[in-house]
Structure 1
Amino acid sequence: MTTLVDELTAIKNVSLVGQTFNLLGILVNNPRIKTGRGDNILDLTIQDEAVPQLLGNASSIALRILRRRIDDFPNINGPGDVVLAQNVKLQTIDSKRTVVAHMQSAASVFVFPLDGIPKADVKDLYSIGAYKLPKLSYKFGSHTNPASETISPPVQVKIIELGAAALQFKSQIDQFAFRTPAPAGQPPIPFASLPATAGVSRQAPPRTLPNCPNTAGIPSQATTNIAHSIPPRKPKWKPKHRRLRELEANKFYDLSGEVVKKVPSDMRSLELHITDYTENSQLYPNMEDNPRPGPVGQMTLLVKVWEPHAGYIYENIEEQDFVLLQNVQTKYSPVGFLEGALRTDRYYPDKVCVRKLDQQDQIDEINDLKTAYFTRRRGQDTSAVANEPKKPSAKAAAKKKEVKREQQRVQRELEQRELEQQLEAKIVAGAGLNPHIKAEFSDIRLSTVSEIIKNPALKRTHPSGNVTVLPFVNAKYRTRVRVVDFSPGFLQQFTRSMADCNWNTALQSVEPNDRKRDDRWEWAFVLLVEDINVPAGATPERLRLFVTGQDAEKLLGGLKAVDLGANTETVVKLEERLFILWGNLLELKESFRGSSKTLPLPSGDQMLQNTPFECCIEEYGKKLPSPNSAHPQGWQRTHRIFGTQILDADPTSS
């Protein structure tokens, strides 16, 4: 197994002509190809600093790749991708510093699409080797063997950091790339016009280019070199990609579509309903009066999703998003309809096979199918009214009976749902839970605080048998707890200013003179909770729950964050809301000030009078400035409250 470059050179330090370097940078131009009789040339510009004010300065450099066939060039999505260039030689071309990857040299260029780079908050998991960048997230040069290459953890971390910077300043990078002109007198040639047959040199493009005025009679590339920018391509899918209308059972597919519903199943899986507005007679039917989301007919596929894909969907995918699911297995459900399964990869257990579509041509393709569907629907509705027969045919009568049966089934489902809700209300009352606090995601299995703390998913067993203990997992839970303490100690400190760089850390990367005035405030406080059932004399498991941002606003019934030190009216409202949540806890905390008594009290102490409640909890990781004995991997396992709301305690005001 060959390890790719460990040592990288900062681009601004590349100065000795003829010397080879290993560079890593963000693509900041629209790639240009020159084709001709000899070598094909791909010109890129990369930069290892993404601050907008520095785009195009000494931290950028031209990169030229020479290949005999265009097929040997790495695949590139566009500006913002991260490029790793290995063993490239510095030359001066057109008075510019240019590093070159010659065909005859050992140079290789790897491109990491921006949409495939993990988020920066998990980079330490890559630094310790717990995760590896998926092989499919980069393309290899012609002198490398994908199966024998690995990327060292430090370089993986740098790729993730550059990806985060590129994402943060994507619009500025796109504008910079747009402003960089193509060479004068050389018209753009669509990349899609070049044949893409692997192993065959691409020949000259057509003389007349579609949708490009004044291009008739362009000389053949056999006699003229032409430089061109690569514009957005037509929707391009991998061979395994299929529309829903093409699906068959017991096969593996890549699927794209619009999310119509996501339903949590338990802490490690969920059900995702997607549609691409094409019909398949093997899919579950969605009838006219069915309350199920999605288009009418057999156009929606239910996909059961497991980790790590489920965690990604929880975090990043919402209803009405356009997504790509890779390696989905199709099978028949117990009732005979086609459904999908997206499981953990046994060889690459951390590989995520879900991503949000960000190429507009791919999204437009699905939107075109959606528009065609609604156009047909409107036409059917109009013709049904204009041409309604006086006497229904046998086929129409059978259809009517089928619809009636479906309506009856739906009614039974609604009645069953109502009974379940009534049963849940009885369970809440029987468990002594606070009826004025509502938790969403009732489909998530209930967990105790102890089960959350000891989540077995923290241990990952690799195919080799090695066990990795992770500092945290991305997971969501539903539990029943009571509040036993909180911090900060004063309600007036429960919000933080977004102008405070110690709280809004994004400001730390911006010069003080460049910071814009920000008068916003954000909720920020912590609840200490424990299980509602603790055996007598036992030490209870306790969990710190962070309450911030929109999750806090939802918990507090829409109460907006303000400067509490200058707004006593909001403090009063806050105290009233939190009294429903924690009872006399604030009163106890205030009475203990200046005395030897402290919170939390021993479990079961009758001084604390509050009612336990049900809530949703999300687990994530918080990056620390440096590792310590308690957190040797540099991450703090953290939990926050979400999907939970304090309702009005007065039924007459609700």
Structure 2
Amino acid sequence: MAPHPNKRQNSLPSSFISIQDLLNHKRGVGNLVNVIGIIRDFKPPISTRGSDSKCEISLYDRYTEDGSLDSLTLNVFRPANEMPNPGLGDVIVLFQAKLQSHSDTLSLVTHWTTDIYLYSSSQIPHPPEGALKALRPQPRKTTHNPGQPIHEYVSVLYHSIDKSCIPSEAEFQDIKAKSITVNEKFKELKDIRVDTFVDVIVQLVRQPYDTGDRITLWISDYTENDSFFHFAWKGPVLADRPADPYGYESVMPYGASSGGEWKGPFGKRSMQVTCFDPHTTFIREQGLSFGSWVMLRNLQIKYGRNGANLEGFLREDRGSSGLKINITQMDITDTESLDPRLKEAVRRKRDYQELKKDQMQQIFNASMAGKKRKSDLAEMETTPSDKPRRNRKKTKKKSMGHDESVTSSAVVSTVSSLTGSVKCEYENKPISTFEEILNPIYLKTKVNGQQVELQLPFVNLNYRADVRVVNFMPPDLRDFAKPKKISEYGMLSDHEESDANSDEDRESIADRAAVRQWEWRFFLELEDANAPKDHREKKKTLWVAVNNSSAQCLLDLDASDLHEDQENLDTLRHRLFFLWGELEDKKSIGEENKRHADQVALANRDSNRPPLHSSDDESIAPQKQDIELRSSQISNTPFSCCIRQYGVKVLEQDPAKADAGEGKRWQRMFGLFGTRITST
């Protein structure tokens, strides 16, 4: 097909990546990507025995030069009523899908931030008309909206690509029938019964107990079974408390008391499993331990030695090809091929942990209330001369608590660049000035019958602006990439992954499995390149956050440990030079001058010497250096970029300002998106 006169329509939007580039490993596994493709295969949703269903969509965007097809599978995990229902040949637009790898095969999987847009193939017009009228209604709320450049590209892609690989309707119906299968042997622990053989997906909730000829496991999938032993939480262990005052432990399952104190899960959520060869050898060789997730197949269910509780037995199992190993270790980090039944078990674990936390807090509160009552009774028995001293201590303590506050500081950054080196996705959107962007938005409404205007804390709006970069944070480029720990709950679509320095990282390793990844997170201070109406006024600036996906679009580079990865650091520095010129060098000189000035000031203080003036030759005052740094950037050529406004919740002690819930308020933020450095 001959190129269309409008070259922008033929170009993949800047924040998207082609399937071929993904297959060529131009994005690292675990990153979120935006993709546009044509649907060539669809496996309808199947139940996962939980709130989510799973479907598979195969998509492609071109043939290679040797005639082979670049295609990629998208695994969608969502509630049944939010599932996409595409037709073969439809165009799909994906925002924030996660790239995964399993057995060296790349694929995509939905993330909690993923948005899916479908364009009906029968309604896609020929270019140059955009495909907006072919866009299907959304079954769920979305946060990313395709704009005119994407609508236009959909039309170009659909009418220029070879669609001979798309199956016929008859072939599609056959694929659909074969994809709907259910394994009746699989059971959750709550459904198992005596004298049956079942398959289960469970977590080891205690370190395996090895006696040489057999290994005892304690397993849970966080469902409850009335025929399991009831593990009750006994509260804090007290030194003077008898170990088993009523002989309850005498009816515990055999081996339950081995391995130290039971740490959960509590209630009737755990079952003992006895493993024999060859499974014992597999457990030792694979290093299965407390916290491992496993699938156990052909598990025999019987009553144990105490005759009261169900137990499992994993014995020698001979098949046509010899001894079978009926234990499979499950990888919770490989979400591309994640078994949906494992996902539901992890979801139940998370719900159990939250319930346990709430209940323990209630017990703690009740305990503290009891101690307070005892303290009040003791205080009533004290002499009058003792009370003033006690009251003074309590007042001082209360005053100290009232003065404590939690503050948050925003980090910042600086940038400048050349027009030809930076491209903005929404080139047709009108230019906004910073004055327009920063102006508050008011909502007209009625309160007690009176017309009033309420200032909104933020609005979800996108802008295009002409800017220069004047600062950046963190000051060290090596800190532009941050470590990120992903918990086992990260596979859940409704779980927001935490930063590496969050409270979650202080949890016990026994409570979660974690792997470290890297993500971009830095800030740029932008100056409005448009001159103010009054030239005596100082140009306005604002800080924009650059998150991982925005930085990938901007830099065309995946995050890594830049303190160790010198090659990536050099590439980052080279590409940012096209964005901000010599800003990094000037900022480094400024930082060094400030450190030198601080050292001189400290020496002056120690020697009682008068402070140096900014005109002295011995150093440059930090304020003067900062002014020189900013004035030097005014000559930089401006570029257009996309900026979004959004809100985040922050701590707020003043109830009158807590407009985002108890103890929280909304803070307006700005972020960079849809902007790419084209010179590399």
TM-score normalized with structure 2 length: 0.34
Higher relative contact order (CA 8 A, sep 6+): 2
